[in-house]
Structure 1
Amino acid sequence: MTPPPTAAPASPAPVAADPRPTRDPGAGRRTPPVTGGALVLVGMLLVALNLRAVVTSLGALLDEVRDGLGLSGVTAGLVTTLPTIAFAGLGALTPWLVRRVAPARVLVVAMIALAVGQVLRVATDSAWIFVLTSALALSGIAVANILLPMLVKQHFPHRTGLVTGAYTMALTVGTTVAAATAVPIAHAFGSWRAGLGIWAAMAAVAVLPWVPLALRTRAAARRATPTAVAAAPPRVRPARTRLGWAMAIYFGAQSLSGYAIMGWLAQLFRDAGYQPESAGLLLAGVTALGVPIALLMPTLAGRLRSLRPLVLGLTTASTLAYLGLALAPHGAALLWVALLAIGQGAFPMILTAIGLRARTAEGTVALSAFAQSTGYVIAALGPLMVGILYEATGGWTAPLGFLLGALAVQTTAGMAIARPRYVEDE
């Protein structure tokens, strides 16, 4: 029944006194961004370019670093495992940080930590200082990993797929460029230190857009009234929800396969008869083909009501790739590389789903932190288990069977997150 006309004027007076621009940065979708969207987008793309360069540049130069610093096998193993450890442990702290400090200010510190860590690790001759400074650099990446989905939700709530695709593509480009150019840069300058240290400059550039954004956020916070500051959103705890665990398992399973492929695919192709250079190019092909997929996948995910077609399609591509690598790794290598690249589209899809399955920025950062921190713990098992099975059996049937088992777990979790639902509702 329509209310009588005389009931409407009762509430306007108090509403007029509410200072809307002073809402907390973690508030819901109706809050207008404190800063311009263009500068935020540029800042996000620059951050994304840095999110894997520190990892893939080291992977390309690991032999030179081991010789230069005298790293033992155990220490080298620790260095290669550090990314997943840092992403899991430090990523979990990010929601606590953004409840106390504005995201723009957190990103300034994160990118400074990334730049400084990269500079310090190439300036030392100590193996353990190299490990510690690498951990410092990775801490900045761990925080940024969690914040980017939240920033998409906060500043671009109606363009989630497009913006997620843009920054995921930037991440993939940074990954590819760092892996492809680290060795040539090191050779050009005559030292592995140049091949690693040069990426600190890119991290320093990523700081620049966030400085004015952080200053504006600070000024907005000073203007906030006690009433506005007290209107903080409720805590969201994804660990207490089925959706949160499904997201974490899907993220972990797809990351497990991704890290296993990055670590072992080139060796598989070498064992199949390819020269080392050709095997490296085939591995690079997975990443290169992933660039357009990283752009398109979030857009598709954002437009579909249910993610089920994407989940099943990605599973099919990965299944065919694993079976092909087991049965005919040399005869149709390019086809298997293309199918692997399609299957790895699960990464941009799950990043998009983090934003799609939360109603608010607070929910997005909580879901992002839980899914990624828990997921990276699972992902750490990938290269390790593939290596153990490869060494134990002397072939690739058992490792690929393990990846098929992980894919089955991933698909089951994917079906659970496919239908529209929100973590806040659970």
Structure 2
Amino acid sequence: MVRATSSAPIDETVDTTPYVWLALALSLGAAVSLGITRFAYGLLLPPMREDLGWSYTLAGAMNTFNALGYLIGALATPWLMRRVPPTRLLLVGSLLASLFMALSGFFSAAAPLLAQRLLAGVASALVFIAGGLLAARLGSHQPRRSGFLLGIYYGGTGLGIVISALGVPPVLAAAAQQPHAWAWAWWMLALVCLLATALMAWPARVLARHPAPPSHALNQGTRVYRTRDFAFALAGYAGFGVGYIGYMTFVIALLREQGSSATQITLFYTLLGVAVLASSRIWAGLLDRHRGGVPLALLNALLGVAAIVPALTAVWPLVMASGLLFGGVFLSVVASTTALVRHNLPPAQWAAGISAFTIVFAAGQIVGPTVVGFISDGPGGLARGLLFSAGALWVGAALASRQRAL
């Protein structure tokens, strides 16, 4: 039971609020919005492309439209949060994401599938931003563990990836004799999203009784969010959006082209997801210690290394290392921007700061899949496309390294 419901600042020595369990339950929002709604498509891209005769450009456009929807949702979220509590936005967005995932199984024409990916992107932005704000609120009540709690939330994406990796291949195999076998995988994933939504009702109910901390909680006066103060971090995060999504969209297709078996691909994607789950422990200290762009720069640089490996070699141990490194880093990049906002702005400005970073994140993701798909349709194929992804990540690292604490 939750006993600490006072609006006064919480005393950590007597507080019995189950912060870790709340963060774990909240992390289902990240599982729905990114781990399943966005990244499960990487597993479905190869069978859908083969069945529907898509080019890589069109296959990439599916995630570009998802990212465009995410951008629309990110732009709408600050307006919505002034009118709707974030706890309600979290649950409504998750319900909508579940609906649009299910609808994706009912169409085979490109236009309605693009529309469903767009709408799912809108819903996932509502979930991800609301969940991130609630996770930051948890961290404000536990300053010594704030990086860890944020990492748990964002690491929930790994749970969604693991569920997708273990669930999609058996469904595809079981439905192999059905027309458009991939549709059954969309429906299975939609049911998983609905279950996650039901489980998130508990943290939403508890956090509705935990008011946002007062602005003086971080002892930062009346500082307000200004884009120019975060310009280098925002630019570096846009590079992350461009680079990471190319890897997550096309790496499974590249592994299939290189001759990896279905078992190897399942293992690769599962371990990538497990690494995401572990990443909250790995990088929590880094996020807590640094107030500037160092974490964002370092993590972007490591992702560039992970992204380039499968473009250069098909040696299985190196490919596995690429997946483990990528999984262990990429969602901590997202957590690093929330930590940057939390370190440098008062709580009343967190929503504005998180939304700004989410917008540039979404803008980068709009560019990434289509550009990588277009490159992959030309000479050099998917391997050359991932070279572009690695380059974008390294450019983002260089820009983020210039961000200073306020």
How far apart are the structure 2 equivalents of 1:64 and 1:386? 19
1:146 to 129, 154, 176: 129
- Structure 1 residue aligned with 2:89: 106
Q: Which string of whole-angstrom CA distances, capped at 9 and with x for unpartnered residues, describes residues 370-421 of structure 1?
A: 112222212232233333334433357754553343233211232134x443
2:396 to 398, 407, 410: 410
Contact 1:255 1:347 in 2 (8 A): no
Contact 2:25 2:203 in 1 (8 A): no
Cα gap change, 1:126 to 1:263, in 2 (>3 Å): closer
- Structure 2 residue aligned with 1:198: 188
1:380 to 366, 380, 390: 366
How far apart are the structure 2 equivalents of 1:100 and 1:83? 25
TM-superposed deviation, 1:182: 1.2
Which amino acid is 1:406 matched to?
A: A
What aligned pairs does 1:130-141 form with structure 2 within 5 A after superposition?
Answer: 130-141=113-124
How far apart are the structure 2 equivalents of 1:98 and 1:173? 27
- Structure 2 residue aligned with 1:50: 32
Contact 2:243 2:388 in 1 (8 A): no
Which amino acid is 2:26 matched to?
A: M
- Structure 2 residue aligned with 1:354: 338
Question: What root-mean-square deviation, in Å, do the aligned CA atoms of Structure 1 and Structure 2 show?
Answer: 4.0
- Structure 2 residue aligned with 1:242: 229
How far apart are the structure 1 equivalents of 2:224 and 2:171? 45
Contact 1:266 1:280 in 2 (8 A): yes
1:174 to 155, 160, 165: 160
**TM-score scaled to structure 1, two decimals?**
0.73
2:70 to 80, 87, 92: 87
> Are 1:41 and 2:23 counterparts?
yes
- Structure 2 residue aligned with 1:392: 378
Q: Which string of whole-angstrom CA distances, capped at 9 and with x for unpartnered residues, describes residues 141-194 of structure 1?
A: 111121222112212221221112212222112123213421312433554333
What aligned pairs does 1:261-272 form with structure 2 within 5 A after superposition?
Answer: 261-269=247-255
Which amino acid is 1:109 matched to?
A: V
- Structure 2 residue aligned with 1:299: 284
Cα gap change, 1:133 to 1:416, in 2 (>3 Å): same
TM-superposed deviation, 1:208: 3.1
Q: Percent identity?
A: 18
Cα gap change, 1:395 to 1:63, in 2 (>3 Å): closer
TM-superposed deviation, 1:356: 3.7
Which amino acid is 1:348 matched to?
A: S
Describe the SS at the equivalent of 1:392: coil
Contact 1:267 1:279 in 2 (8 A): no
What aligned pairs does 1:203-218 form with structure 2 within 5 A after superposition?
Answer: 203-208=193-198, 211=201
**TM-score scaled to structure 2, two decimals?**
0.76
1:369 to 337, 355, 376: 355
Which amino acid is 2:192 matched to?
A: M
How far apart are the structure 1 equivalents of 2:303 and 2:210? 48
Give the number of equivalent residue pairs: 378
How far apart are the structure 2 equivalents of 1:305 and 1:265? 32
How far apart are the structure 1 equivalents of 2:271 and 2:136? 29
Q: Which protein shows a greater Rg?
A: 1
- Structure 1 residue aligned with 2:216: none
Describe the SS at the equivalent of 2:314: coil
